[in-house]
Every structure is written in structure tokens, then in C-alpha cells.
A and B are shown apart, each in its own frame.
Chain A
Amino acid sequence: KNEVEQSPQNLTAQEGEFITINCSYSVGISALHWLQQHPGGGIVSLFMLSSGKKKHGRLIATINIQEKHSSLHITASHPRDSAVYICAVHPLDSNYQLIWGAGTKLIIKP
């Protein structure tokens, strides 16, 4: 079993829909990252959070440390949001390395 699990693996939605991507992890963590990767492109860090909720534009990230769960929400989705969204965690026993999820491939259709 992977230490970081994301769901769904693939998600296709219509423009304007509210999107939720989930991340569950099994280790104690000091922080969790949400990152975005466009096809053929590099990785962009969206959020780094250790508690509560963060918002940036149409993106919202929440984390529940007790339940070892985080969600990434996209409001009013747009085709340019199409990308792979990756969850990664800093485990408590190592502040250096990230444990990566497999990613969620999101396609937003116009």
C-alpha cells in the first residue's frame, strides 16, 4: 500500500464545475504539498500546508491532520486547469524528503 494515496486517478469535468481531488496518507507528517504539472511542463507548487485551509484565487486546499486527509478544490473550473495534480507529504521522521502521490489527471472540457 502506498503511503500517499490520491483519488480519483483521472477526472474529466465540464467547464465551470466544482472540482475536488483527495489525498490520504498513512504516516505522520510535518507538512503537505499540492503541486500542479502540465503536460510536458515542470512542476509548480500550489500550496504547502500543515493545518486548516489555504486559498489562492480559485484554488482551495484543506487538511485534517487527525484524519490524515487533504483535499484540493477548484471552483469555476476552466480548461486551463487541465493538468496533473500531485499531493506530496513531508514525513515527521524526515524533514527532507517528500513522499509523493501518483497524481490525479484532470481534464476540463469547454
Chain B
Amino acid sequence: EAGVAQSPRYKIIEKRQSVAFWCNPISGHATLYWYQQILGQGPKLLIQFQNNGVVDDSQLPKDRFSAERLKGVDSTLKIQPAKLEDSAVYLCASSPIPGQEQFFGPGTRLTVL
């Protein structure tokens, strides 16, 4: 069974630039999560999708972050414009249904200069 795929693995941009991350969850997993993990801290949930609908985006900085999962499968997370404090690892995870074990992708390490 293929795991959660993410790309790119690493990205370096300058502040005020835009960046997009892609995630392909495990086939059949209805629930998809995007997390932000700042160095030395635990992951923070940014947004949770159930199929193509948003379940929770209360911690997503909506002035600069956006995410979509149009067909209920893969998802993109965008930051526009990026700030220095956005430097972090962005993790995507999926689960068959909410509350079940989450499977994580390798993450995208973003550095904003």
C-alpha cells in the first residue's frame, strides 16, 4: 500500500514570495490533515478535510494561507505572501475516517529568507 506522498520535500523562498505544497493521501482515506511543525515544537493542525469539505480550519491564517481538496483526493496548501515565521515543516496526514490512526507523509521543509 503506497503511503502519503508530499512534494516538494524542501523549498527555500524569500519573504513575500508565494509557495505551494502538494499532498496525495493514501487511497480511500476520506480525511486529510495539513499540519505546521515549527522546529522544536509539536505539529499544529492548520486544516482538516473530510472528502472535499473543510471540517476545521480554525488555526489556518486565512489572510495568507489557503488550501483546497477539490476532488476529495489530493490537496494543495498555498502561502501567499510568505513571512519569515512560516519557516517550518508542513506535514500532510490522512486517515480512513476522523479519529482513526493518522498516516503521515514525509513533510515539506520550508525555509523563508
Q: How many A-B residue pairs have CB under 8 A?
A: 49
For the complex formed, measure the closest distance between the CB of A101 and the CB atoms of chain B, giving whole angstroms: 6
What is the total number of residues of chain A having a CB less than 8 Å from a CB of chain B?
A: 22
Contact with B along A59-94 (1 / 0, CB 8 A): 000000000000000000000000000101010000
Q: Give the chain A neighbours of B103 by CB distance below 8 A.
A: 45
Contact with A along B28-44 (1 / 0, CB 8 A): 00000000000001111
For the complex formed, measure the closest distance between the CB of B91 and the CB atoms of chain A, giving whole angstroms: 6
Contact with B along A38-57 (1 / 0, CB 8 A): 00111111001000000000
Is there contact, CB below 8 Å, between B104 and A42? yes
- What's the dominant secondary structure at chain A's contact region? strand
Is there contact, CB below 8 Å, between B106 and A42? yes
Q: Give the chain A neighbours of B109 by CB distance below 8 A.
A: 40
For the complex formed, measure the closest distance between the CB of A72 and the CB atoms of chain B, giving whole angstroms: 15
Q: Give the chain B neighbours of A44 by CB distance below 8 A.
A: 104
Is there contact, CB below 8 Å, between A98 and B98? no
Is there contact, CB below 8 Å, between B101 and A96? no
**The residue from B45, B101, B104, B106 contacting A97, defined by CB atoms under 8 A apart:** B45
Enumerate chain A interface residues (CB-CB to B < 8 A): 30-31, 33, 35, 40-45, 48, 86, 88, 90, 95-98, 100-103
